[in-house]
Structure 1
């Protein structure tokens, strides 16, 4: 059996992270852990901002705990979270390196990008799907300045994908 690995997705809202995550969970195979899915299950499709912010931090911590357990059982994970900031990606790399008794777990980072207009259109379509986490255009605009693309000095992603529908 190949060693368990972490497949993490970096990209902004509507970039196609979840589409790629669903593909990877079958191709690898792996357990897909999606912060959007957990948020909807725990807080509903359109939680108020104060619930969203604190809830997302709690969901991310729970996902990390589940991922650690699954990896310890020898099963790979797909982390569908976004890793919008350099700090979050650095922390992800550090966490992966600390697993397996300090020997580390292989980490594969995928960067998923599309033009802003396409991302906005995808969000609008997704907002009408049952069970989707609602993201208004105002929320999209408010979050956009918080997104930090991969920096030149960061380890390169496994793949940069912009071809997802």
Structure 2
């Protein structure tokens, strides 16, 4: 009997604060045989809704490595995995895509190119909501964080979402 390839895929969700990565990942989790992994959600589960910068920084690497290993297990068990990690730096996108491809796992990059005005409105709604699995981000900090984001090159992404 031939063994059917039942592996899932990994999708890297790329985008700035409040561009819709988490919302999209949650939708895919409900609609497909998929799960999403979020570093923000994991750290908020561990430390509660107001972690210190020291707590976040000291556990980031361990949380990242844990979710990478978990993603491999999930994909090899037939699930698609949506990585809600932001991927703000081009080098981190290349590094993680290469990591999964070296593990024999298909990796795709979806970019959420959403205008600032829309993101600011989404961020306001998120801050007013009850979601304990997302950071509350001050409006002035959205632009600050945008300064760290490296726009993907034209050939870097497999799919782009706009407003």
Aligned residue-pair number: 157
- CA–CA distance in structure 2, aligned partners of residues 21 and 41 of structure 1: 18
TM-score, length-normalised on structure 2?
A: 0.86
Distance 2:121 2:58 in 1: 27
The answer for the alignment partner of 1:42 in structure 2 is 46
Contact 2:6–2:76 (CA<8 Å) still a contact in 1?
Answer: no
Contact 1:16 1:113 in 2 (8 A): no
* Distance in 2, Cα, partners of 1:27 & 1:7: 15
What's the counterpart of residue 29 of structure 1?
33
* Residue 149 of structure 2: aligned partner: 147
RMSD across aligned positions (CA): 1.8
- Listed as ranges, the gaps of 5+ residues in structure 1 are none
Aligned to 1:126: 126
Partner of 1:115: 115
Alignment map for 1:6-155 (pairs within 5 Å): 6-99=10-103, 104-130=104-130, 131=132, 132-152=134-154, 154-155=155-156
- Structure 2 gaps of 5+ residues are none
TM-score of the pair, normalised by structure 1: 0.85
CA distance in 1 between counterparts of 2:114 and 2:162 reads 5
For residues 2 and 65 of structure 1, the distance between their equivalents in structure 2, rounded to whole angstroms, comes to: 18
Contact 1:109 1:158 in 2 (8 A): yes
> How far did 1:2 drift?
4.3
Deviation at 1:53, TM superposition (A): 2.6
* C-alpha displacement of 1:145: 0.9
Q: 1:72 to 1:3 in 2, by over 3 A?
A: closer
